[in-house]
Amino acid sequence: MKRIIPLLLMLLLALPQAVAQRGLHIDQLFGSELRNRKGSTEVLVTGREAARYGLTLFRSLTFQASQKEMLWTESLVRADRAGATSMEEARRNARLYYGFYELKAQPEGKGRYLFYRNGQLEKGSAGKLTVIYMEGTATIDELKRRFSR
């Protein structure tokens, strides 16, 4: 009895975490005070709900950024896109307008995607910055189809 309880506690501590450490620079955005601002939305979906879109993880943050924050966010996205296997992006006024990046897949074969859009670069727009990180087996085209429903 005296040996069983410590063993059980050790087993509990060894259980894997659901949201694994991905080591991306954009991780600094999620769970930060940015989500508490007026007009901000942060979404985290895993498991059953994410599986409907062929994903195991969906994480996004939409927020109104200051000039400094915009530059900082863009630098995070640039740092993470360095290892992308494919990308599609556009610039406006020397700034990154939008970017869709497929990052290096995980060892277990799951795809990883980083999407970015700077709505604040649109003329006359009170747009926002949106950063999305996704993991799953769906391709970008499949994701577009599923999210358009």
Partner 1 sequence: MKRNKNAGNESSWDALVDRYFRAETTPREERRLRRFLSSPAGAARRYDAVRAVMGYVACGRSLSRRPAARRRNRPSAVAWRVAATVCLTAGIAASAGWGVYRRNNVCVAYVAGQKVTDPDIVTRCMKDAFRETVGPEAAPTMEGQLNGMFNLLDNP
Q: Smallest gap, in angstroms, from Cβ of residue 124 to partner 1?
A: 13
Residue 5 interacts with partner 1 (CB under 8 A): yes or no: yes
* Residues in 80-99 that interact with partner 1 by CB under 8 A: 88-92, 94, 97-98
Q: What angle do CA 110, 26, 18 make, to 5 degrees?
A: 50
Question: 34 near 63, Cβ under 8 Å?
Answer: yes
Contact string 100-119 vs partner 1 (x = CB under 8 A) = x--------------xxx-x
Question: 138 near 146, Cβ under 8 Å?
Answer: yes
CA-to-CA dists, residue 26 to 17, 22, 23, 52, angstroms: 19, 10, 9, 24
Give contact residues for partner 1 (rule: CB under 8 A): 1, 4-5, 8, 11-12, 15-19, 35-49, 58, 60, 62, 88-92, 94, 97-98, 100, 115-117, 119, 130, 132, 143-144, 147-148
